[in-house]
Structure 1
Amino acid sequence: MGAGIHIVNDKLGAQAQKSAYGSYSYKLKLTNTLKLSFGLAMGISYYSLNGQELTKDDQNDPAIPTSTINKTRFDSKAGLFLYNERFYTGFSVADLSSNIRKSAELLVAGQVKHYYLTSGYVFDLNQNIKFKPSFLFKEDFRAPTNIDLNGFFLFNSKYWLGATFRTGANILKSKDLDNTLRSRDAIVVMADLNITQSFRIGYAYTITLTSLANYTGHEILIGYYFKEKTNSKMLTPRYF
């Protein structure tokens, strides 16, 4: 059993979001090696959209605000995670409480239910090299399904090196699907270092493969794993 707090302060262009969540998780031991975790988070999100920061092609467009619009709403998330030392699969839903139907509200809050499905497995290539393929599907039934196909190599139980191919496809049909949207293909190159059994750092570089090819992204990862109790055994290395 675990509990925590998640705080978000995000700004992207004219949009801003501030959120605070309380989270709870519970772990079930299904067999000697297989475990199932449940997670739930609930909180409040505050959204704002500053219309004065938007560039308008039509100055009289009524759908674009001329001032700052704010919206506060309750939010919740839930998920399941099944795993052992080599394999994992998970399913989660974000924005469970979303009931936005009006376009004006969607413009400000920008939130609809999102569904996530992921899975992966670790293979031994030899004594010093392991390979972990995995995937992540992200679906909201309003745009093409976002697909991440990942491949990572682990060297000497310490160094991770891998890449992700990100694309989109119209896998599931919905009356709300916008067929004018196109996938934004990208490649992400990542490196990760397990400094100790508990502490890791990493870096990721994103290269777009579409008309947005002039844009790149940089991410830095810093992670620390807490042992459940003093006599617990932590897997070395952490595969996921």
Structure 2
Amino acid sequence: MIKIIKSNFINYTIGCILLLVCSSNCFAQREIIMSQYMYNKYSINPAFAGSHESLSLFASYRKQWLGFDHSASGGIATIHSPLKNETMALGAQVYSEKVGVTNNTGFNISYAYRTNISNTTKLSFALSAGFYNQNNNWSDVTIIDPEDPLFGYAEQLSAPWLGFGTAVYNNNYFIGLSIPSLVYSDNYETGENKLDFGKIDYLFTGGYFFHINSNFTLNPATLVRVNPNTTSFIDFSTTAIINNALICGVSYRTTNEIVGILGYQISPQTRITYSLDYTLEKLSNYNNGTHEIALQFNFGYKINTPNPKFF
């Protein structure tokens, strides 16, 4: 029997519930949902590698349920670029997160093959490969019996990270389908890594740029996650781009969360964005929301790139 030593037992109990909710809403092995997927589609679909037609770097950090002790946090960084032969593109991403006593890290690289299906539209197919590592530090749990053999040690689990994606995009729209990881890792029961199409994530994303006038663009987008074994959801977002610089957006996730997004295009190469997630459930009374900040830098771009600032 575990006895949690904490000044406010109610808050800790709700914290456990929050961690369970977080674990049920994961992207492949990642347990933290990144709300700014529309600005870094490569992180959920390797087929978007090279879509900026330049060397593009994106980094973000996310802190869930600010103000609540031991809440989840994590970050992701990606880099991708087309090659001299523009039919090919390469990319890589690394992430790290902490959820309770669990630390997750991962790294993968990807290769995308791109072909023109019209003068302005590209079709891309991509494969990604890497590894995933989970470290459970059970010694951080306070228990009555310090000799309990189930605690007091660190457990490390590793798994391959193999993914696939396809996408179509041009100046006005994007659409993609991806499987972030073909390998299902049963880290808490059998410890096995296996191919199980009934337990992996299937991600669909799409969006369109409505150029209302030279100073105002509206960009609705959606992300659909389907997982036959756990929680599936749909994220609907709409972003307004004002004077090619100011970014204001809002999204709703069917897990009963609303997200506000604010950003600024500092230069044609540099953009900073911030988002605040707010749950509409009663758990919102016990935290100050989820905060995410991201920075993107393109090391140069071509005039004919599809929406170089915002794609």
Partner of 1:26: 113
Partner of 1:218: 291
Partner of 2:164: 78
Matched residue type, 1:154: I
1:160 matches 2:251: no
**Which runs of structure 2 are paired with 1:103-182 in the superposition (5 Å)?**
103-105=189-191, 112-167=199-254
Give the CA deviation at 1:49: 1.4
Tell me the SS of whatever aligns to 1:190.
Answer: strand
Matched residue type, 2:115: L
Tell me the SS of whatever aligns to 1:52.
Answer: helix
Tell me the SS of whatever aligns to 1:113.
Answer: coil
- Structure 1 Cα separation of the partners of residues 168 and 142 of structure 2: 46
1:13–1:53 CA contact under 8 A, matched in 2 = no
Tell me: CA distance 1:235–1:15, structure 2 relative to 1, closer, same or farther (3 Å): same
Tell me the SS of whatever aligns to 1:95.
Answer: coil
Give the CA deviation at 1:218: 1.0
Tell me: CA distance 1:100–1:236, structure 2 relative to 1, closer, same or farther (3 Å): closer
Deviations 1:72-112 (A, max 9, x none): 12111111111110111111102212253972538xxxxx5
Give the CA deviation at 1:194: 1.4
1:96 matches 2:169: no
Matched residue type, 2:309: R
Tell me: CA distance 1:205–1:99, structure 2 relative to 1, closer, same or farther (3 Å): closer
Partner of 1:207: 278
Give the CA deviation at 1:68: 2.3
1:197–1:234 CA contact under 8 A, matched in 2 = no
Partner of 2:305: 234
Partner of 1:176: none
2:159–2:185 CA contact under 8 A, matched in 1 = no
2:171–2:307 CA contact under 8 A, matched in 1 = no
Unaligned runs of 5+ in 2: 1-87, 193-198
Matched residue type, 2:201: H
TM-score, normalised to structure 1, is 0.79
- Structure 2 Cα separation of the partners of residues 85 and 138 of structure 1: 25
- Structure 2 Cα separation of the partners of residues 28 and 34 of structure 1: 9
**Which runs of structure 2 are paired with 1:6-21 in the superposition (5 Å)?**
6-21=93-108
| Larger fraction in helix | 2
Of all paired residues, the percent bearing the same amino acid is: 25
Partner of 1:178: none
1:122–1:239 CA contact under 8 A, matched in 2 = no
2:133–2:159 CA contact under 8 A, matched in 1 = yes
Tell me: CA distance 1:33–1:122, structure 2 relative to 1, closer, same or farther (3 Å): same
| Larger fraction in strand | 1
- Structure 1 Cα separation of the partners of residues 108 and 164 of structure 2: 12
| Two-structure CA RMSD over aligned residues (Å) | 2.6
Tell me how many residue pairs correspond in the alignment: 213
Q: Give 2:138's match in structure 1, choosing from 51, 54, 59.
A: 51
Deviations 1:198-226 (A, max 9, x none): 21111111111112213311111100124
Tell me: CA distance 1:105–1:54, structure 2 relative to 1, closer, same or farther (3 Å): farther
1:86–1:239 CA contact under 8 A, matched in 2 = no
Tell me: CA distance 1:4–1:89, structure 2 relative to 1, closer, same or farther (3 Å): closer
Tell me the SS of whatever aligns to 1:98.
Answer: strand
- Structure 1 Cα separation of the partners of residues 92 and 310 of structure 2: 24
1:87–1:120 CA contact under 8 A, matched in 2 = yes
